[in-house]
Amino acid sequence: MRRLIAHGCVVVSVAMLCSGCTSYATVPTINEHAGTATQEIISSFSYEIDSPWKNSRLGKDAYALTKNMIPNAQDLSSRPTASSPPALEIKISEFSLGGACTQEYLTGLSFGLIPSWCTRPDLFKFDFILNKDNGFCRQRTYSVSATTVSHLVMIPFALFEPEKRPLAIYQASLKDFLQADQCSKGL
């Protein structure tokens, strides 16, 4: 009987670990219709990842996505000094927020009966700088915040939550930034 209770507690604990739904918000808001506009022609780029984790999965996936989105651009990241700045400079920052929020512990200790929500501001930052004709054109930083809701009834929704959502936000922000003819707007 004790073994059955112990196994039941483990199953409920694992279910609670996976029973949160996360929504993401960006500042500034990403233009969803960026794919229909003409995009800047990028001949070269530099890529930098600032993460507390040695082998960041987001960093690796975002680099591969960048290479796919601008396939003809030359990567100048590994060159020590360049005579001119790259056409596009990218810096991705990931921040570790130290684990669960305080209120999430209450949800875990109550086996999911007490709901909680937690907002993690500036979980990711995507910095883009566009240089044209060897001069500065524009710069924009997209800050991504996450809000997580945890409760026992969220288990079915958590199963269908896409795992690569931050990567999709990175792709949308890069498309939004690369819209053509924005140098004169002073963004």
Torsion angle of C-alpha atoms 153, 157, 27, 131, degrees rounded to 10 = 160
Question: Which pLDDT score, from 0 to 100, does residue 186 have?
Answer: 45
Q: pLDDT at position 133, please?
A: 77
Q: 158 or 40: which carries more pLDDT confidence?
A: 40
Return the bridge partners of 149, or none.
Answer: 21, 117
Of the chain, the end-to-end C-alpha distance in Å amounts to: 65
CB atoms within 10 A of CB 125: 15
The answer to whether the beta carbons of residues 116 and 147 sit under 8 Å apart is no
CA neighbor of 83 nearest in space, from 44, 140, 35, 111: 44
pTM of the model: 0.79
92 vs 7, more confident = 92
pLDDT of 126 above 90: yes
- Using a pLDDT cut of 70, give the percent of the chain over it: 73
Q: Is 128 left (phi over 0), alpha (psi -120 to 50) or beta?
A: beta
CA dihedral for 66, 70, 71, 74, sign (positive or negative): negative
Return the bridge partners of 146, or none. 24, 120
